[in-house]
Every structure is written in C-alpha cells, then in structure tokens.
Structure 1
Amino acid sequence: MDLVITSEDFRRLSSATQKELLALLMNGESERDATPELGDLEIFEPQGATLNASFGSGTPTGKLVFSINAEQSDELLSNLAEKSQQTLRLFAIGERVAIDDLIGDSRPYKDMNELKRSFVGAVNRRLRTVVGNRSAVLFSSDRDRQRIRVLPGSAAALRNAMGIPEPEVEDAFDSSDYEDELDEETKT
C-alpha cells in the first residue's frame, strides 16, 4: 500500500498527528520543526512523495527537510562560500528557484553535477553540523523537479540573516480558488 502526503496535507494535520506520523515514519525518531524528506534523491525531493506505509519502513532515504530558525541561519551562513551564499539569497527572496535559473551558460553552475556537489551538497553538509542531525536537508523540489525550494520558515530566517527586507504581501486572492462556489451561486 502506498500513501501520498503533500506538504500542504501534512501542515493541515494536528500537531499531535504530525508528531505521531513522524514517529511512525522515522521509527520513533521524531524531530521538532522537521518534515519527512519527500522523494528518492537526497537533495531534490518532490513536495508530495509516495511512502511505503508498512511499519518501520521510514522514508525512502531517511532524510528530513528542516525549517531553520534565525540563529541556525546565521550559523549556516558563517561557514559557506560566497557563491553558495549568493545562491541561497535567491531562495531567501523567493523560496522556490527554477533549476534553469541555476544551471547553464552565464548561470552560477555549469551542470546539475556541479549544482549538487558545490552548492546543495555543501549547504546540506553544513546544515547537518548546525542542527546536529545527520538526516537534515534544506532543500526539496516540486513534483516535476523543475524548481527547488526551501521551507517558508527557512526562507524567512535566511532573509533575516542576510538583511533582506520581508517581501510586501500582495492580495493573494485568485478567483479560481472560488470558481466552484461562484458557479453554484449563479445556478440558484
């Protein structure tokens, strides 16, 4: 049996249910402010993952996508190369970054191997030292693996540590969110 849980589904669960689910998936090793890593690659997990629901199986790789706080963000940045810090700035500003914006001619990294080795791997190794958890990763990816993201809390902590102002909140109303309700109203 397979069970698919998106990050949005997970956030809607009660705190107690989140902890219980994490404990089950991580064989009793629940971490505060952690969500299960989502996918089969250590660094680019999709937002929703198919996890084997049999007891004791854990996640496919056993990694956890961590949401770092301001103190951890400062410590993370203190020992990273300037190029990695500049790339993290993109995540701080937008949370999600297209892989095409990172790889290619006139981009920070020439190919996926360099991106993984020089940036994602280096940042995740530093993160594991900072948070004291060998299973921690900072990045996840969208289902189609075209965008890499950090959790919103991590993006906010990075903005704070880098002195980037908080983005202005725009009215996020999207009429498509309510199309079904509007259709029902027009029928009556």
Structure 2
Amino acid sequence: MSGETRARIMDEALRQFAERGFAGTTISSIERGVGLAEGTGSFHRHFPSKRAVLDAVVERELARLREIRPEREPDPGRPLADRLAADLEFLREVRPLIEILIRERGAMPHLVRRVREVLVDGGLTGIAGDLGTGSGDPAADAAVLLCATVGYFLTSEFFGADPGGVDAGRYTRVLAELLSRDRR
C-alpha cells in the first residue's frame, strides 16, 4: 500500500506541477488530489519536501521514457518519416515533463540540465547514428531534425492546431525528404 500511495502522490504532483508550476502547487493540494487527509503527515511519510517529490517525479519520468524509447538504434530499413512520426508520439508522452521544464527552467536549472542530458544529448547521439544521408554532417542533421520536430510539436500543442494546416503525417514526410536529399 505504501508504494501505491507514493506512486499516487507522484502522479498527482506531476499533474499539478505541469498545470500550476512548482510555486503554484502546495503539499496540501497534492494531498487533496490523492485523497490523503491534509496536514496529517501522510505526504511526509513518503517525501521530506515538495522539492523532493519534484526531483523524484523527474527521475521517474526519465526512467519511464527510457523504457518507452530506449537509446535509438540505427534502423535503415524503417522509413525516416515513420521514425519521425514515432518521435512526435514520444514528445506527447513527455509533454508533462516539458511543461514543468518550461515553467521552472529559470528557477531550477538542475532539472533542465538533467533532462537535457537524457533526452536531448542522448537523443542527438541516437538520431545522428540513424541518419545515413543528408548534408554529410549527421550531427548537424540530427540537431535540425530534433529542433524542427520539437518546434512542430510545441507549435501544434501551444496553438491547438497543426502549423500552417500541415498535419503530422505530411510534416514528417517532408522533413524526411529534406534530410534525405543528396546535397552534392
């Protein structure tokens, strides 16, 4: 039961931190959201502080995301557009973590650094190994791919519509074509 309560606290904290930010979330609001009696010490039996639950949530989400998408293995047999579509879906899984980072990046640079190490730096290495064509500079191609895909995702999420009316399938197809062109 204790592990289940801890997981429920973390789920609720993730939701509230993503919606309200760290400062806008209280231990009492997390307790209420989980159904724990406020002020009874229930929260503190699992976490010493609000900061500790935030750190635990970030580490849990990073571990979960590594399971969803382990280090990217080169897969030349799978069309690049399909791999890009999977990247967009992966970003949907990461959305609460992205929201927390957007809100807390100035106040908690350690979180930004930790997520960057896992998702960006590690992701670029995997993407660069996955690209066999393009400009002849796989690291730069990977950075373009990452930034373009994250930009597409954030734009569609922020505005609630596909950028320029270009749906995800069309976006991934065109980006794959651009990255795959022979540029002699």
TM-score by length of 2: 0.26
Larger Rg: 1 or 2? 2
TM-score by length of 1: 0.26
Structure with the higher fraction of residues in strand conformation: 1
